[in-house]
Amino acid sequence: MLQKIILLSGFSGITVFIGGLLAYYFNHHVKESPVKYEITQTMMSFGAGIILSALSLVLIPKGMEELKLLPMAISFVAGAVIFLFIDLYLKTKVGQTATLLAMLLDFVPESIVLGAVIVIDPNMAILLAIFIGLQNLPESFNAFRDLVQCGFTVKKTLVIFFFLSFFGIVSALTGYFLLSDYPNLTAHLMIFASGGILYLLIEDIIPESNLGKSYFSSLGATFGFLAGIIGDRIM
């Protein structure tokens, strides 16, 4: 069982490093042109879509299965507000790192879920590993560019991505050994991360939704999404 967990989580994690390598090749070996800009923007949009699908199809539904309405809402709001302040702090210190933060926010809890469910439903664990691996590619591609623009060297960025690739294994083993018997705690983690991911998605990753420095407009959109969740739960 441990071998299977390491194999699946290792596959889903290595795509973080692969995405960084692809971004390095693309940024340094493809000439500047309108086509290059369009491809980069498309990768950003594609990554945003996958992050949103992670919220809609994995993190939030699984969390809602375990939590009552009020605890779920509290965890969601806490995630959005806390990552608002984290985002503000990072922008004053190292610039634009929201893509990397969003990647970790869904990569880590999903990997924890992977480790927790592998005993119950191995087939679901395999599909989840594939899903995580696919979404890590565009996310790490975009995060590489963001970190380099913030002043990180290419070598340092690739080293960071290499070590981040192993976060999946550590998270999956954590889920297997510590959380498989605590579905309620795992659900809180997923909903908390969902609130933070959605805030970052609207504020920093989807350019059309970023209205200057209006952080509260992004929080408002996040709470609007929460209203939809509450409505679905009541129905």
Summarize pLDDT for 165-215 with one digit per residue, the tens.
998 999 999 988 888 788 888 889 889 988 988 887 777 666 544 445 556
Q: From CA 75, how far away is CA 41, in angstroms rounded?
A: 32
Burial of 193 (0-12, 13-18, 19+ CB in 10 A): buried
Residue 149 has pLDDT above 70, yes or no: yes
Residue 221: CB atoms within 10 Å: 19
| Reported confidence tier of residue 81, pLDDT bands at 50, 70, 90 | very high
**140-160 exposure pattern, b = at least 16 Cβ within 10 A, e = fewer:** bbbbbbbbbebebeeeebbeb
Nearest alpha carbon to residue 77 among 210, 219, 214: 219
- DSSP element (H, E) containing 175: none
Whether this prediction's pTM lies above 0.85 is answered by no
Q: How many domains does the chain have?
A: 1
Instruction: Please choose, from the candidates 150, 128, 132, the residue with its C-alpha nearest in 3D space to the C-alpha of residue 204.
Output: 150
Dihedral sign computed on CA atoms, order 145, 202, 129, 131: negative
Who contacts 65 (Cβ-Cβ below 8 Å, separation ≥6)?
187
Give the pLDDT confidence of 2-26 residue by residue, as tens digits.
888 899 999 999 999 998 898 888 8
What SS3 state is found at 152?
coil
**Would you state the pLDDT for residue 232?**
62
Mean pLDDT, all residues of the chain: 79
One DSSP character per residue, the chain reads -HHHHHHHHHHHHHHHHHHHHHHHHHHHHS---HHHHHHHHHHHHHHHHHHHHHIIIIIHHHHHHH--HHHHHHHHHHHHHHHHHHHHHHHHHT---HHHHHHHHHHHHHHHHHHHHTTT-HHHHHHHHHHHHHHHHHHHHHHHHHHHHTT--HHHHHHHHHHHTTHHHHHHHHIIIIITT-HHHHHHHHHHHHHHHHHHIIIII-GGG--TT-HHHHHHHHHHHHHHHHHHHH-
pLDDT of residue 18: 93
DSSP 210: -
pLDDT for residue 122 is more than 90: no
Q: Domain limits at 81? A: 2-234
